[in-house]
Structure 1
Amino acid sequence: MTDQRGVVVGHWPGQDPSAEGGPAELLAAYHLQTQAEKGEAVTDVDGLPDRYRAEVLDPQTAFVDDVVLVALSGDTAVGCLVVTAPVSGQCEVKRLWTDPSFRGRGIASGLVSAALAHAVESGVGMVRLSVWAWRADVIGLYERIGFTVSDSWDERAQLVCMQRAV
């Protein structure tokens, strides 16, 4: 676990991830914001594409083989990140989100650092991720942590693919 100015980052500690104040709320905020940024705003979780709605409604099943990292302020989840199960010596970082009222405290970098440490512990040699091109601040964060832009493995327009050896 990592302490980020009063916020602890670690593996989701076994509570129901759909419980109030848990990763499900953070995932909902992440997906609703992303849909709005893509110009496809929806009013609530029910309007999300099936794949994303499933993550919010049942993150435990959606990420059954993955690791969900959560930043906690007391008992409240204020940030999350998913590290996929290793495949062919690499894993992927997904769904990085920090509650807007907790931004600027190093939570996102703490979550990414914890993901990299998990990757090392898992014997992974490469961590990859994709991020929307309009999220310049997040791209800058990833670059500061050592990720570099790579050839795309995803054909969606405006998606930047990045990777980092660990």
Structure 2
Amino acid sequence: MTDQREVSIVRWPGPTLSVEDGLAALLAAYHLRTEAEKGEVVADVDGLPNRYQAEISDPRIAFVDDVVLVALSGSAAVGCLVVTAPAGGRSEIKRLWTDPAFRGRGIASGLLGAALAHAAESGVGTVRLSVWKWRTGAIALYERFGFTGTESWDDRDQLVCMERAV
């Protein structure tokens, strides 16, 4: 069994880091689970909306201006998070996901902490995110990191928008 100390957080793509298949699998799991939670069960990646398929099939292009953080256990990708390129003094956190077999080990907290450190180093003043209201565990995690609810910038029903100063 792998414990939390054996997990490292790295920026992808890196000079010696090739985890594209693992990252694609994490993104696929994230999107398939999200669609299922919304009541839009799809059998596989081919049933996902095109924008999500694009992230999975070519994350280098989909996140070309963004920073992708990957949690590794050995050489296996076990978690991911995207920090969008700064715009207007703020960035957005997206796609926070931990492989279910590795949950409860602080991986999401590690990814979130690394994302906030990156935002601070980038001179971002505010970080925002959106999360589905039924993801109460994620909301509690964000609140522990100082995020608070804010006026929605997205009109999708049941989406909670949060932000915090960096």
Q: TM-score, normalised by structure 1?
A: 0.95
- Map of 1:162 onto structure 2: 162
- Map of 1:45 onto structure 2: 45
C-alpha contact 1:65 1:85 (8 A) present in aligned 2? yes
C-alpha contact 2:69 2:81 (8 A) present in aligned 1? yes
Query: What SS does structure 2 have at the residue aligned with 1:5?
Result: helix
Residues 29-87 of structure 1 deviation map (CA, whole Å, 9 limit, x = unaligned): 00000000000010110000001111001111000000000000000000000000000
**Map 1:24-39 → 2, pairs under 5 A:** 24-39=24-39
Query: What SS does structure 2 have at the residue aligned with 1:40?
Result: coil
In 2: Cα distance, 1:39 partner to 1:49 partner: 14
Pairing partner for 2:20 from 2, 18, 21: 18
In 2: Cα distance, 1:69 partner to 1:4 partner: 16
- Map of 2:96 onto structure 1: 96
C-alpha contact 1:4 1:110 (8 A) present in aligned 2? no
- Map of 2:62 onto structure 1: 62
Q: TM-score, normalised by structure 2?
A: 0.95
Question: What is the CA-CA distance between 1:5 and the residue it aligns to?
Answer: 2.2
In 2: Cα distance, 1:143 partner to 1:56 partner: 29
C-alpha contact 1:18 1:57 (8 A) present in aligned 2? no
C-alpha contact 2:19 2:76 (8 A) present in aligned 1? no
Question: What is the CA-CA distance between 1:138 and the residue it aligns to?
Answer: 0.3
Residues 103-140 of structure 1 deviation map (CA, whole Å, 9 limit, x = unaligned): 00000010000000000010000000000000000000
Q: Where does structure 1 lack aligned partners over 5 or more consecutive residues? A: none
The one-letter amino acid paired with 1:80 is C
In 2: Cα distance, 1:4 partner to 1:154 partner: 35
**Map 1:109-128 → 2, pairs under 5 A:** 109-128=109-128
C-alpha contact 1:130 1:159 (8 A) present in aligned 2? yes
The reply on whether 1:87 has 2:87 as its aligned counterpart is yes
The one-letter amino acid paired with 1:28 is A
The one-letter amino acid paired with 2:89 is G
The one-letter amino acid paired with 2:154 is D
Q: Where does structure 2 lack aligned partners over 5 or more consecutive residues? A: none
Q: Calculate percent identity across the aligned residue pairs.
A: 70
The one-letter amino acid paired with 2:73 is S
Quote the RMSD (CA, aligned, Å): 1.2
- Map of 2:152 onto structure 1: 152
The reply on whether 1:76 has 2:79 as its aligned counterpart is no
In 2: Cα distance, 1:16 partner to 1:59 partner: 12
